[in-house]
Structure 1
Amino acid sequence: MDTPEFSLSKRHRPKSPWRHHFAWLESLIHPSVPVLPQDTRAPPQPWFLRLPLIRYAILVYIIFAVALSATHVVSWCVTHRSLSSPRVFKDWIPKRTYAQDEPFSLLDGMPHGLKMAKMLDKSDYESTTKVQPYWLRTAQKIHPEGLSLMVMITPESWSDLVRLTDHWQGPISATLHIGTEEDGVTIKDKIRHAYQEHASRFQSVDVHLIETTSRSPSVLLSRNVERNIARLYARTHYICELPSNVIPATDLRRMLDSNKNVYGDYLRNGDMLILPLFVGNNRPSLRNIPNHKSRLLDLVRRGEMGLLDPTFELNQGPTNLSHWEMATQPYIIEKYDLHYEPIVIQSKFVQPWCAERFLDRKSACLFSNHLAGGDFWVLPQDFVVQVAPTKPTTLSSLDAVIEDRLYSKFFWEQCVHHGRQLEALGLWYGPRSKNIHTQCSRVIKNWGRGLIGKAE
């Protein structure tokens, strides 16, 4: 009797080990029932999604994406970010990306008007073409490590520049704004004649000419543009903008030379040195100006002079008169305000440029410097004095309202702009970012949520 042959059917064959361990994968690739509830009336899936190879590819992509995301999250959480190694190298030197071996630049052949229009792109083209740097230029050699005063004047305030040159023999970078509705040729001839006739008085003064249809700040060419022009063409590494009716009461050049190491480091790091501004009930003449702190404080105690921070009440500004009276070393401003406009000594090269969208807003220049990481250091022994009344602003009430609204938006914009820059440079967690963390914490946390509200 033959032994019957038994054959195992497909359902009774032993399962392979890999099929046992990866049964869940088989169920995903070939589900016996829909994984999710489906409408039986729904159309069938596309034919390519029913192919096992396509299903495997989609599954592999999902696993890879999850693994990559998890890797980035773990790396971001555990990686130590060095605060002392920014992503900018100190030895980096800016170079042209084209024709580096040629001694010339394509800018050499560009017309003057086009150059100025590109540099001052927020201003009217016709107005920028009439800007003349070094319209009146001194032939004296200026030491680049010195300090230049920046002054914005008009034909009416030319006498203020003359008074300043009598009291300050250092370099001056002045912008002269002339309106074309006047007899501009006659005015320019008179000023040129006065400059040349008293050459010894103006031996360190450069005058940059600006001609527009109106002398008052306008959208054609704003006062902030004039600040940038005076700064751009100053011949020294350090600059200080002074109103035309203010003069230095102490020897600023001697102060900088004797403290070159300390103050030089401050300025090169982007910090600003504040010169307290004092004003008297009766405007002092040049002979009666106090030139020492002790003499000035005697006048302050008698109520004859006071500390003036523009936009603040007398003796009530962030400069802090009580602190300055007792100070023997520079101190940092503790209660910075968005509208603070002190007179500062700063680097020509380090700080951001003034925002040219504003007609006349010095605080916008200083606010950008502050967010970029610059601190305000009040000088303990030096100061400036206002010797003539401040002329009323020429901005209309409508322009003033527009300026205020622009400035509130500018606050938010600068917080995000400088925050992105500091993060890109690897400085967000370092001491360079302490100012922006203080001023802009609410803006950065709530950006895009509509919860920012007014400036802090």
Structure 2
Amino acid sequence: MFTSPPEPGQAAFDVESITYSNQVITWKTPNGRLKHEIDEDAVIHKVFSSTIQPSKVLPYYFKAIREFDPEAVTITTLITFDRYPVFSKLVTNYQGPISVTIHINDDEARDENLSKLHEMYGSNPYMKEFVDVHVVVDKFNRQFNMWRNVARFFARTNYFMMLDVDFHICTNLQKHLSLDPEARQLMRSGSAVLLPAFEYVNQDDGYDSSTFPKDKESLIQSVRSKKLTTFHDFFPKGHNATDYERWYKTDSVYKVTTYQHSYEPYVILKKEGTPWCDERFVGYGANKAACLFEIYISGIDYYVLPNDFLIHQSHPYKEETRKQERKYNRKLYQNFQEEACFRYSMQFVAANKWDSPKADNLREQCNKIKGFKQAMEHFSRS
């Protein structure tokens, strides 16, 4: 047992008695005099109560020493111990606020993997400057949406980017956003902005991010020479709504107008007011699409940034695992879409916003569900 996190390289852990578990959350009344204290564990359990339990969430297991500009964009991502090397590259490349959820399986390798976490955090000086680490310890692999929500919940800026750790931001995103008043205004208004995603045709070319194009002109040349292609071009529903042909030609932000329910872009969102990812989705398939679908039908429009892009860094896939989990999540997603459509519809009707532009995305998508339009004609008249 210990009373404070050990230094990198040590390997003596007792998750149940870690100091973070003894913290207390304090609420004050409006006059600031009275207060009520609740154990942090109770608050965290309630916040993530829809996940598989028991699960131990340790917020700010490591906390960056920097205080971040509230207008900065925090990358929110999730990793397991086998992704530490590529995560370290992301930290060095971005050099901005990052909030990461790290899952540690509660098994015989738990302490060893926690020790690896300490080694990883201590191995890169940019970690201590920019990275807040939140640890989830349980026996349940691939609770991706729960892990996304943990990283977002504890992000310390007004904006966050949902990013898979194996994507490389090839441009100076922070600089471009600071110089683009239109994109900034869209973000402040609550809209989402996104980066087009690409991958190498020959996967062997995609391991070394230092060789990736660093500007749009170089990227387009690589696309034309068929070295690069749009990400997962074998599944066009995942990214084609980005409208790559338009992106190649434009130097201005533009709106996504052909959204469909399998769309999975990498988006920057306002932390306040954006729906959370539904935590019932566990495993591969539909988890991110469901999250982005709910965000979209809630009334948040998607816009494409004109000069920034991502390239996928190659790595092996667990195809058999993915195949089975996609099958289960596909069924869940079908039911989820109907549920989300009716839930948000009732909100819009109750708020007298059913006929407002905010409900446009919902009507566009949810009218595709059999019987939905007729049901809402009845409810909206009630």
TM over 0.5: yes
Unaligned runs of 5+ in 2: 1-26, 378-382
- Per the normalisation by structure 1, the TM-score is 0.70
Equivalent residues of 2:63, 2:128 under 8 A apart: no
Tell me, in whole angstroms, the C-alpha distance in 1 between the residues paired with 2:345 and 2:267. 24
Tell me, in whole angstroms, the C-alpha distance in 1 between the residues paired with 2:333 and 2:260. 13
Write the letter of the residue equivalent to 1:184. R
Matched with 1:23 is none
**Correspondent of 1:208 among 119, 128, 134:** 134
Matched with 1:403 is 329
Write the letter of the residue equivalent to 2:273. V
Matched with 2:230 is 307
Unaligned runs of 5+ in 1: 1-96, 450-456
Equivalent residues of 2:102, 2:135 under 8 A apart: yes
Equivalent residues of 1:308, 1:314 under 8 A apart: no
The structure with more radius of gyration? 1
What CA deviation, in whole Å up to 9, does each residue of 1:368-400 have, x standing for no partner? 111111111111111011122263368565543
Matched with 2:86 is 160
Write the letter of the residue equivalent to 2:103. H
SS of residue matched to 2:77: strand
In structure 2, do the counterparts of structure 1 residues 293 and 442 end up closer, same or farther at CA, with 3 Å as the change threshold? closer
Tell me, in whole angstroms, the C-alpha distance in 1 between the residues paired with 2:311 and 2:360. 32
**Correspondent of 1:388 among 299, 302, 314:** 314
Q: CA RMSD in A?
A: 2.5
Instruction: Give the strand-richer structure, 1 or 2.
Output: 2
Tell me, in whole angstroms, the C-alpha distance in 1 between the residues paired with 2:314 and 2:115. 27
In structure 2, do the counterparts of structure 1 residues 193 and 325 end up closer, same or farther at CA, with 3 Å as the change threshold? closer
Write the letter of the residue equivalent to 1:357. R
Which structure 2 residues correspond to residues 50-89 of structure 1 after superposition, within 5 A?
A: none
Which structure 2 residues correspond to residues 258-337 of structure 1 after superposition, within 5 A?
A: 258-259=179-180, 261-280=181-200, 281=202, 282-283=205-206, 285-308=208-231, 312-313=235-236, 317-337=240-260
Tell me, in whole angstroms, the C-alpha distance in 1 between the residues paired with 2:95 and 2:320. 31
Equivalent residues of 2:237, 2:260 under 8 A apart: no
Is residue 54 of structure 2 the alignment partner of residue 126 of structure 1? yes
Tell me, in whole angstroms, the C-alpha distance in 2 between the residues paired with 1:148 and 1:238. 6
**Correspondent of 1:229 among 150, 162, 178:** 150
What CA deviation, in whole Å up to 9, does each residue of 1:344-372 have, x standing for no partner? 11111121111111114001111111111
In structure 2, do the counterparts of structure 1 residues 318 and 425 end up closer, same or farther at CA, with 3 Å as the change threshold? same
What CA deviation, in whole Å up to 9, does each residue of 1:264-298 have, x standing for no partner? 33123332111001111221523321111111101
Q: How far is 1:200 from its partner?
A: 4.1
Equivalent residues of 1:153, 1:175 under 8 A apart: yes
What CA deviation, in whole Å up to 9, does each residue of 1:170-212 have, x standing for no partner? 0111111011113212221232144235434441001100111
SS of residue matched to 1:318: helix
Matched with 2:43 is 115
Equivalent residues of 1:307, 1:314 under 8 A apart: no
Tell me, in whole angstroms, the C-alpha distance in 1 between the residues paired with 2:32 and 2:108. 45
Q: Percent identity?
A: 27
In structure 2, do the counterparts of structure 1 residues 185 and 212 end up closer, same or farther at CA, with 3 Å as the change threshold? same
In structure 2, do the counterparts of structure 1 residues 299 and 147 end up closer, same or farther at CA, with 3 Å as the change threshold? same
Write the letter of the residue equivalent to 2:47. M
In structure 2, do the counterparts of structure 1 residues 125 and 115 end up closer, same or farther at CA, with 3 Å as the change threshold? farther
Q: How far is 1:243 from its partner?
A: 1.3
Is residue 347 of structure 2 the alignment partner of residue 347 of structure 1? no
Which structure 2 residues correspond to residues 127-146 of structure 1 after superposition, within 5 A?
A: 127=55, 130-146=56-72
Q: How far is 1:320 from its partner?
A: 1.9
Tell me, in whole angstroms, the C-alpha distance in 1 between the residues paired with 2:40 and 2:133. 17
Count of residues in correspondence between the two structures? 343
- Per the normalisation by structure 2, the TM-score is 0.83
Q: How far is 1:99 from its partner?
A: 4.0
SS of residue matched to 2:241: coil
Tell me, in whole angstroms, the C-alpha distance in 1 between the residues paired with 2:230 and 2:39. 47
Tell me, in whole angstroms, the C-alpha distance in 1 between the residues paired with 2:127 and 2:360. 45
Equivalent residues of 2:81, 2:113 under 8 A apart: yes
Tell me, in whole angstroms, the C-alpha distance in 1 between the residues paired with 2:34 and 2:66. 27
